[in-house]
Structures are given as C-alpha cells and as structure tokens.
C-alpha cells in the first residue's frame, strides 16, 4: 500500500521538485545565456536572467552555422532509425512470439547480445563494415564490388537500427496478447501475414508509438557513431554540429550565446515530439492494452 499521510506526501513532493529543478536548471541557464550578447557573457559569465538578444542569437544560428542542414540530417537519421527499428522489431518479435521457431531462444539470445554490445563499444568493426558493406560477401569469395555507406544518411542510421531493444520491448508486449487471438485468426482463415497486419498491428499501435518516440530521441541524440561516420559538415547531425561549435571557432573565444541558442533550437524538435506523443509514451510504457 502506498502511504497517504500528508507529511510523507510533502517529503515526496519536495524530492520531486528538487529533481525537477536539477533537470531544468541547465536548460534554464542555456536559454538565459542564449539571450545575452557574447560580450556580456564574456564579461560576467553564464546568465541566470533573461537578456534582450535571444532572437538575434537564434537568427545567427540559422545564418552563421551549419546547424539548420545538420538538424535536417538529424531529422532524416532519427526518422530512419525510428521507422527502421519499428518495422524490424515488429517482424522479429512476431517471429519470436508467434512462430514456433525451433531455435527461437538462440535467436533471442543473439538479438539480446546487440543490447549488451551497443555501437559505442564496437565502433571500429562497425565502421569497417559500413565502409564496405559487401565485405562479408567478398570474404566468402563472391565477386562483389565495394559499397561504402560512410558519410550517408543510411550509413548513419543502419547501425542504430540493428539493435535489439525494440525487439525486446515488443516481444514483452506480444506475450501479453492472448494466444487464442492468433488461433482464432487461423480458424478465420488468416495466414501469418494477415494476422500480423489485421490484428497484431492495430493492437500494437500504442507500443509502436512509444517505441517510435524512444528510438527517435535515441537517433536524435546519438553522438559517437555520427561523429565517426560523417566526414563532412553537411552530413553531420545536429548534436555533432553543436559539439563542433564549441571547438571549431578559428581560435576566437567561444561564442557561448550562439552555442546555447543552437542547443535550445536543436532541443526543440525532440521536445515537441515528446509533448505531442507523450500520451502514447506513457501508455506504451505500461505495455498493456486493455
């Protein structure tokens, strides 16, 4: 039973507010700093109060930096990642739960391995594969030409798509779907694909929406792989571009207001997404559709 005493309530609320402050303070500082001029910030450090230069700084982000095209890259990569993961894990989880695979547990263990070994750990081999995705076939002695996906949108998204978290999430969800539903569909004459499309997909919408949001955010905020796999500024993602803003300046002093304005702008898209889809996020996290 959860306690309902008021003093206990107060303590909980206190902790909650502290947590919120802790999370919001950096955002607040970023936004406030973005509203001052570079000179002000140079003189008196990061700002805690609003200044008059926010619009000006945001306009500079769009005129003086590559952030806009990089945000477009991020959007493409995050969308490809999220959609790719949704499709892939829907299919794999379906096979794991509804098809009587002889070595299903082995397949599942392998997929689970990708969760234990994220791209961050295997950057080098992943880069090698991406620089010539035909290499495994070449190693088998097949006559194939070299295809490099480095510095392409697909190349940025693919390693993130080949990841087991989505499969794991949907598998857990599918296991709550009554088995008799699949049997009823078979009695009605539906094959595996029809059952997937007509019954399972509509039932999975909240779970898929939650997965989509989570994976979109993951794709948007990925840093290491996009940093490694994009060699030109026009192919970099926004997060990489933000980091470059801090270091790329030609030995001038860092332009903190510009960086903060860029960071705030870049956060806008994932924030909007969460705001719009948070209903699904919560429902999908609960993972049961009654």
Partner 1 sequence: MTLTLERPVAAAAKTGTDIRIEGLAKTYPGADSPVIPNLTAHLRAGEFTVILGPSGCGKSTLLNMLAGLEAAPTGRIVFGTREVQALAPRDRGCAMVFQNYALYPHMTVARNMDYSLRIAKVPRAEREARVAEVARMLELSALLDRRPSQLSGGQRQRVAIGRAIIREPQVLLFDEPLSNLDARLRNETRMELAQLHRRIGATSVFVTHDQVEAMTLADRVMILNKGRIEQFAPPSEIYAAPASTFVAGFLGSPPMNLLAVESRNGRIRLPDGGTIGCRRDGMFQLGIRPEHIRLGAGAEMRVQFREELGSHSVIALTTPDGARLRVTAPPGGTGDALRVSFPQDALHLFDAETGLAVRELLIRT
Instruction: Find the binder of partner 1 among 178, 193, 247, 250 (CB under 8 A).
Output: 178
Distance CA 241, CA 226 (A): 10
Our CB check for partner 1 shows the closer of 15 and 184 to be: 184
Name the one range near partner 1 by CB under 8 A: 132-140, 189-197, 242-250, 266-274: 189-197
Considering the complex, what minimum distance in angstroms separates the CB of residue 207 from partner 1? 13
Closest distance to partner 1 from the beta carbon of 179 (Å): 9
Going residue by residue from 260 to 289, which x/- string records binding to partner 1, judged by CB under 8 A? -----------------------------x
Total residues belonging to the chain: 290
> Cα angle at 147 between 142 and 149, to 5 degrees?
140
Which positions from 198 through 237 interact with partner 1, judged by CB under 8 A?
A: 198-199, 202-203
Span near partner 1 by CB under 8 A; candidates 84-92, 194-202, 223-231, 257-265: 194-202
Is residue 180 close enough to count as binding partner 1 by CB under 8 A? Answer: yes
- Please pick, from the candidates 183, 234, 276, 282, the single residue that binds partner 1 as defined by CB under 8 A: 183
Residue 94 or 168: the one with the smaller Cβ distance to partner 1 is 94
- Minimum distance between the CB of residue 287 and partner 1, rounded to whole angstroms? 15
In the complex, what is the shortest distance from the CB of residue 228 to partner 1, in angstroms, rounded to a whole number? Answer: 43
**Contacting partner 1 (CB under 8 A), which of 2, 116, 124, 187?**
187
CB 29 within 8 A of CB 259: no
Q: Which of 133, 190 has the CB closer to partner 1?
A: 190
Q: Which residues lie near partner 1 (CB under 8 A)?
A: 178, 180-181, 183-190, 194, 198-199, 202-203, 289-290
């Amino acid at each position: 039973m959860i306690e309902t005493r008021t003093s206990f309530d107060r303590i909980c609320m206190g902790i909650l507010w502290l947590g919120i402050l802790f999370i919001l303070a950096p955002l607040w500082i970023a936004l406030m700093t973005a509203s001052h001029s570079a000179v002000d910030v140079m003189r008196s450090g990061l700002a805690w109060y609003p200044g008059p230069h926010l619009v000006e700084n945001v306009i500079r982000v769009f005129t003086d930096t590559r952030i806009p095209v990089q945000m477009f890259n991020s959007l493409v990569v995050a969308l490809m990642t999220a959609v790719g993961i949704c499709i892939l894990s829907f299919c794999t989880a379906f096979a794991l739960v509804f098809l009587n695979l002889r070595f299903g547990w082995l397949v599942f263990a392998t997929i689970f391995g990708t969760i234990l070994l994220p791209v961050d750990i295997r950057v080098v081999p992943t880069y090698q594969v991406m620089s010539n995705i035909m290499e495994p076939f070449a190693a088998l002695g097949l006559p194939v030409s070299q295809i490099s996906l480095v510095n392409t949108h697909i190349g940025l998204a693919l390693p993130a798509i080949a990841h087991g978290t989505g499969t794991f999430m949907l598998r857990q969800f599918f296991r709550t779907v009554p088995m008799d539903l699949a049997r009823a569909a078979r009695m009605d004459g539906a094959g595996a694909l029809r059952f997937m499309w007509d019954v399972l997909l509509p039932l999975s919408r909240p779970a898929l929406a939650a997965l989509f949001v989570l994976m979109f955010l993951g794709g948007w905020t990925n840093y290491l792989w996009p940093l490694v796999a994009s060699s030109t500024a026009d192919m970099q993602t926004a997060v990489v571009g933000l980091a470059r803003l801090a270091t790329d300046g030609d030995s001038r002093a860092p332009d903190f207001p510009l960086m903060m304005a860029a960071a705030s702008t870049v956060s806008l898209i994932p924030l909007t997404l969460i705001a719009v889809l948070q209903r699904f996020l919560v429902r999908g996290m609960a993972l049961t559709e009654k």
